[in-house]
């Protein structure tokens, strides 16, 4: 998953359960990571047609659903663009030419993916990357394993993805800090949650600088350039880990106004904390009783 993983668990048989959850996350990493030789995604990108296992097929199908509701702001076919910008470990970061970007854009979009049963077919120049959704799926699977094996309280951390199981051992809510995008060693606030995923995406997490300009890794699939939406970070809270993971990226690309519109239509599915380029903090109305901050913030109503 290209990040540090930690699992803290309480309850009967928690050591065995944690070991099982750890093995499951690593299995999914080998299956889904575009940079692992064992990856089904890597093989699909190479062969362009493949009968997928249930896990990979579920993620591709779910990614299409999120792409539809976000009008393409989340899209797993941006792999050629991500590669052009050098945001893979074996590549050097660089600013691609306008021609490279336009060439890559021709293969971007879910219209270039066909799903028939468990067979997925990609257009000749199309490649996919599940990195924007796989950690959410993995944390959900790990949480299910913990619950089925007697764990009543747990905290799973996969980099910017946090998943809580139940409440804390004393019965209180888990408190998850939200990083300050200007200084990730600090926090802009905290959310109190139970049995929820808390996922943060931001341009500050992975970027490079060239000729005085900063380029981050979250690509707008409509322009081919790093998203310039007026946001510095987005945190999504949901009981649906996979949705939270994908939406944190999508809302960052969409910007404040379009994110607010999406929330107003789907307020039962997620909550969000958005930090703008001018350092204003916005929270969705359904977080009013669970978000706390020493800073001023505004509420987005549904």
192 and 97 assigned to the same domain: no
Residues of 114-134 as b/e, b for ≥16 C-beta within 10 angstroms?
eeeeeebebeeebbbbbbbbb
Domain boundary among the residues 55, 88, 122 is at: 122
For residue 236, what is the domain's CATH number?
A: 3.10.520.10
Each residue's pLDDT tens digit, 156-195: 999 889 999 999 999 999 999 999 999 999 999 999 999 9
Each residue's pLDDT tens digit, 43-98: 999 999 999 999 999 999 999 999 999 999 999 999 999 999 999 989 999 999 99
Residue 166 has phi, psi (to 5 degrees) of 60, -155
Residue 158 forms part of a structural domain: no
Average pLDDT (9-30) is 94
Grade residue 4 by pLDDT with cuts at 50, 70 and 90.
confident
Residue 106 above 80 pLDDT? Answer: yes
Residue 282 has phi, psi (to 5 degrees) of -125, 140
Q: What is the pLDDT of residue 160?
A: 80
Each residue's pLDDT tens digit, 205-240: 999 999 999 999 999 999 999 999 999 999 999 999
Percent over 70 (pLDDT), the chain: 99
Residue 260 above 80 pLDDT? Answer: yes
Domain range spanning residue 116?
Answer: 34-122
113 and 177 assigned to the same domain: no
Q: What is the pLDDT of residue 177?
A: 97
Mean pLDDT of the chain: 96
Per DSSP, the three-state class of 166 is coil
Q: What residues contact residue 157 under an 8 Å CB cut-off, 6+ apart? A: 4, 5, 6, 7, 163
Residue 77 forms part of a structural domain: yes
**Residue-wise DSSP of 19-73:** HHHHHHHHHHHHHH-TTSTT-HHHHHHHHSEEEPPHHHHHHHHHHHHHHHHTTTS
CA distance 194 to 187: 20
110 and 185 assigned to the same domain: no
Number of domains making up the chain? 2
Q: What is the pLDDT of residue 9?
A: 96
Grade residue 1 by pLDDT with cuts at 50, 70 and 90.
low
For residue 49, what is the domain's CATH number?
A: 1.10.3980.10
Residue 147 forms part of a structural domain: no
258 and 180 assigned to the same domain: yes
Residues of 260-271 as b/e, b for ≥16 C-beta within 10 angstroms?
bebbeeeeebbb
Residue 257 above 80 pLDDT? Answer: yes
179 and 97 assigned to the same domain: no
Residue 118 forms part of a structural domain: yes
């Amino acid at each position: 998953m290209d990040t540090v993983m930690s699992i803290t668990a309480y309850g009967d048989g928690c050591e065995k359960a944690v070991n099982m959850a750890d093995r499951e996350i690593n299995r999914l990493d080998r299956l889904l990571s575009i940079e692992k030789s064992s990856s089904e995604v890597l093989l699909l990108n190479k062969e362009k047609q493949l009968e997928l296992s249930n896990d990979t097929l579920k993620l591709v199908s779910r990614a299409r659903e999120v792409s539809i509701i976000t009008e393409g702001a989340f899209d797993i076919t941006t792999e050629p663009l991500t590669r052009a910008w050098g945001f893979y470990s074996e590549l050097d970061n660089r600013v691609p030419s306008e021609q490279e970007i336009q060439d890559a854009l021709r293969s971007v979009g879910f219209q270039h993916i066909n799903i028939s049963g468990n067979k997925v077919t990609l257009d000749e120049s199309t490649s996919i990357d599940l990195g924007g959704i796989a950690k959410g799926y993995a944390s959900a699977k790990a949480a299910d394993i913990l619950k089925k094996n007697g764990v009543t309280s747990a905290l799973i951390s996969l980099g910017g993805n946090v998943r809580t199981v139940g409440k804390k051992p004393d019965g209180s809510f888990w408190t998850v800090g939200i990083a300050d995008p200007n200084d990730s060693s600090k926090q802009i606030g905290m959310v109190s949650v139970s049995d929820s995923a808390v996922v943060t995406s931001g341009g500050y997490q992975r970027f490079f600088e060239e000729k005085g300009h900063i380029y981050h890794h979250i690509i707008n699939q409509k322009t081919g350039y790093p998203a310039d939406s007026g946001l510095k970070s987005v945190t999504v809270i949901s009981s649906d880990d996979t949705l939270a993971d994908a939406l944190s990226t999508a809302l960052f690309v969409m910007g404040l106004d379009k994110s607010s519109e999406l929330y107003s239509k789907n307020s039962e599915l997620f909550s969000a904390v958005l930090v703008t380029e001018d350092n204003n903090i916005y929270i969705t109305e359904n977080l009013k009783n669970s978000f706390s901050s020493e800073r001023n913030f505004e509420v987005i109503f549904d």
